[in-house]
Amino acid sequence: MKKLVVFGGFILNVFLALTPNSGWAGCNSPVTLGFDGNQEPTDDEFLYENEKEFALTQSGFINSGKQNSGDGRGYECDEFNSPSCAIDDEIEMPIGHVFKGEVIQKKRRYKCVVGLFGDDKWEIVDDGFCSTKAFGDIAVGSCVEEGSNCKNLTDIDCSGYNKTDSNGTIFYGICLDGPKFICKAVECKDGFFANDDGICVPKQQNNDNEKDDNDDGNGDDDGNSNYSCLQRCINLTGSQKAECAACCVVPASLAKWENGVCKCQQNPNQKFNISELKCEDVVAQPEINDPNACDPEQLAQIMQWKIKYSSNAEISTLIDVVIQYCNGNSKNKEVFNAYFLNIQITINELEEGKKVSSEMNASKTKISAAVEEMDTISAGFDDSVWKNEEGKFNTSRLISDSVAGVVLGTAGGLITSSVLKKNQVEDGFENIQCTIGGQVVAGWGDQFVVGR
């Protein structure tokens, strides 16, 4: 952030380099950030330990009216603010930290510097190595070493890293400028050999008298044929594969396939036209860049989605694409809106799927409960005091209950009883009667009084 001091109408530049500062205590740990003027979370004076802190800062920036980072924490290079990091303070950030809105997948050391006009910012002071989980930090131009030599790595060792050719059997792990870590093939499967670019190409089957002329197809200088050139294109995809194939059918004196690009040989400044099969002058296209293309509020929403759906690979990939696009130098509103809409549609489909699944589970629970209740009722049909052990009508129960009623009637009260028949037995209606000493005193349907 630019800091100026005004005396008598004249602007006096503050040369902070002349006033050494040991730095504020805030440089030892991330703090809540404050924003002044036109500052934004993506400015080069802010560092974040991870994507979560950056996303929280983006949300806090919007919610506070561009005043502070809310729940987000970061490191600020600002000589005038406390707590913050001051001039010459250095800090090492971990793998996955965020600088200028970009996720940096390696450790990196930064230094707080103040320019001539007080424009505080972080500068990279140590970026000359590739950070890998399996092999540690490797300097640019170096390889995974074993003693004084490069270590032979297997295909399993290189799992998860970019390989120059999947037909390789032995690789060197090399840190290229960028920095970028690759596994370069140095030995290949039977019938192939690794060239200087780590590409596995078929071994030359022709004898010296049958070698093709280097100029009747895009072969190598050692006499490899047009077929060998085409083999390089097998593992490529899309437009790169099309360019590779086209490059292989023109004379090597016109263009050659080198380092993943068809390079014009007579004039390196020209570009190979795969449709016309010729080299042409490059016509500069005007760059379109709308600084307001990526809406801050929509970006804040995207960063919230990034946290919420971090376990969903598809949504995370879509979000990474739009973040990378917004960090670039060529963007427009229509493209950004298309990216944003695509993420919205994917999230809606995911949430709708969850809703349907939840409703189905609720329905299954209700159905299971209903089935269980019906099973209980059904089981009760076979459990009744009016059936004997064979499942037939229990006539003795009806008689015993009636007799009990008669006996109870002699115990001090007048009981009027009616012998009723409600059930039909196997052989028709059963004769039910009341007797005393073998003499019938009441039959079917008769009413009688006991106790008088």
Angle between helical axes of 333-380 and 296-308 (0-180°, round to 10): 40
Query: Which sign, positive or negative, has the C-alpha torsion 356, 358, 359, 360?
Result: positive
Look at residue 53 in the predicted model and tell me its pLDDT. Answer: 94
DSSP bridge partners of 5: 12
Instruction: Tell me which amino acid residue 379 is.
Output: A
Look at residue 114 in the predicted model and tell me its pLDDT. Answer: 78
Look at residue 173 in the predicted model and tell me its pLDDT. Answer: 92
Look at residue 434 in the predicted model and tell me its pLDDT. Answer: 75
Residue 403: both structure tokens together: 């007799």
Instruction: Tell me which amino acid residue 151 is.
Output: K
What are phi and psi for residue 158, nearest 5 degrees?
-90, 5
Alpha carbon 321 to its chain centroid, in Å, reads: 12
Q: Say if residues 163 and 154 touch (Cβ distance below 8 Å).
A: no
How deeply is 132 buried, as exposed, middle or buried, from its count of CB atoms within 10 A (0-12, 13-18, 19+)? middle
Residue 424: how many CB atoms within 10 A of its CB?
A: 10
Instruction: Tell me which amino acid residue 350 is.
Output: L
CA pair distance 183, 170, nearest whole angstrom: 9
Instruction: Tell me which residue of 3, 25, 228, 37 sits closest to 120, measured CA to CA.
Output: 3
Query: What is the three-class DSSP state of 307?
Result: helix
CA pair distance 41, 328, nearest whole angstrom: 16
Instruction: Tell me which amino acid residue 450 is.
Output: V
The string of DSSP letters for 113-139 reads EE-TT--EEEEEEE--EEEETTTEEEE
DSSP bridge partners of 435: 440
Look at residue 13 in the predicted model and tell me its pLDDT. Answer: 38
CA pair distance 146, 173, nearest whole angstrom: 11
- pLDDT values of the chain reduced to their tens digit, one per residue, 452 residues: 444 433 333 333 333 333 434 444 458 889 999 998 888 999 999 999 999 999 999 999 999 999 999 999 999 988 776 677 888 888 988 888 999 999 887 778 888 987 666 678 898 876 677 878 889 888 877 889 988 788 999 999 999 899 999 899 999 998 887 678 899 999 999 888 888 788 998 876 433 334 444 444 454 443 334 556 666 776 776 667 777 877 877 788 888 888 888 889 888 888 888 767 788 888 765 556 677 788 888 989 999 998 898 888 888 888 988 888 888 777 788 888 888 888 988 898 888 877 776 667 776 776 777 667 666 766 665 555 555 666 655 555 555 554 444 444 444 444 444 444 444 554 555 566 777 767 777 776 676 666 54
Q: Say if residues 330 and 288 touch (Cβ distance below 8 Å).
A: yes
The string of DSSP letters for 230-289 reads HHTTTT--HHHHHHHHHHHTS-TTTEEEETTEEEESS-TTSEEETTTTEEEPPPPPPPP-
Look at residue 178 in the predicted model and tell me its pLDDT. Answer: 66
Q: How many residues does the chain have?
A: 452
CA pair distance 409, 283, nearest whole angstrom: 120
Instruction: Tell me which residue of 152, 177, 141, 183 sits closest to 165, measured CA to CA.
Output: 183
| Cα distances (angstroms) measured from residue 121 to each of 23, 42, 79, 165, 235 | 14, 12, 10, 41, 43
How deeply is 49 buried, as exposed, middle or buried, from its count of CB atoms within 10 A (0-12, 13-18, 19+)? middle
Look at residue 170 in the predicted model and tell me its pLDDT. Answer: 94
How deeply is 248 buried, as exposed, middle or buried, from its count of CB atoms within 10 A (0-12, 13-18, 19+)? buried
Work out the angle at residue 295's Cα, subtended by the Cα atoms of residues 68 and 308, and round it to the nearest 5 degrees: 70
Q: Say if residues 408 and 441 touch (Cβ distance below 8 Å).
A: no
| Cα distances (angstroms) measured from residue 445 to each of 8, 39, 275, 432, 439 | 127, 104, 110, 9, 17
Residues 6+ apart with CB under 8 A from 369: none
- Please report which helix (H) or strand (E) contains residue 173, including its range: strand 168-176
Look at residue 19 in the predicted model and tell me its pLDDT. Answer: 40
CA pair distance 100, 118, nearest whole angstrom: 19
The string of DSSP letters for 74-86 reads BEEB-TTSSSSB-
